Amino acid sequence: MNSRLIVFKRKLTREITAVRAELVRAEQQAAPYVEFCQRRYDLLRTRLEDTQLRLAETESALADRRGNSLEIACLQDRLRAHRRIHEDVETDFQRQMDEVEGRLTASSPPGGSAQLAQLAAERHTAAIERDAAVIERDAAVIVRDAAQEERDTVRGELHARTASLQDAENAARLLR
């Protein structure tokens, strides 16, 4: 019985040695493929991290642009309100000037020189106020034009960033 065990042990040892040799050969044959897969995985992982970083930066920039868009909308609303106010003031001054001219024309000639001088002074004051309102309106128009130009610039940047964000999202989807 002892000899059978020895024979069995030798046979088992040979089989173990053969299996180990087969494992070593399989490992040697698979090593280049495993190395290739690891390099490819590392490359894709790096690209994914870069894309995620660019995506985060683009999302941040997009949030800033959205904030700028809201600010532009508020400035446009304020500009419209100022424009309406200045138009109302100019209309009011023109009406006052017309009234003064009407009273001046309707005033009677005898003893009317004092009243005429007062009406002329009122007309002069109204003309000065009208001119000031026109200057303010012109300044508001300049501010409006600058705001519109800035809005257009920001919109262009926003469109470019949105396109960049979409490209980054598409690249991220492809990497998944």
User: Quick one: what percent of the chain has pLDDT higher than 70?
Assistant: 93
- What is the fold of 2-175? Helix Hairpins (1.10.287)
- Give the residue among 61, 67, 44, 47 at the shortest CA–CA distance from 165: 61
**Environment class of 82 (CB within 10 Å of its CB; exposed 0-12, middle 13-18, buried 19+):** middle
pLDDT level of residue 11 (50, 70, 90 thresholds) = very high
d(CA 33, CA 59): 38
Contact by Cβ (8 Å): 137, 83: yes
Enter the pTM of the model.
0.39
Backbone angles phi, psi at 111, to 5 degrees: 65, 10
The average confidence (pLDDT) of the chain is 83
Give the three-state DSSP class for 147: helix
Per-residue burial over 84-113, b if 16 or more Cβ lie within 10 Å, else e, is eebeebbeebeebbeebeeebeeeeeeeee
Percentage, residues of the chain above pLDDT 90: 17
Most confident of 32-36, 130-134, 142-146: 32-36
42 burial via Cβ count (<10 Å: 0-12, 13-18, 19+)? exposed
Q: Please report the sign of the dihedral spanned by the C-alpha atoms of residue 12, residue 15, residue 20, residue 23.
A: negative
CA pair distance 12, 95, nearest whole angstrom: 118
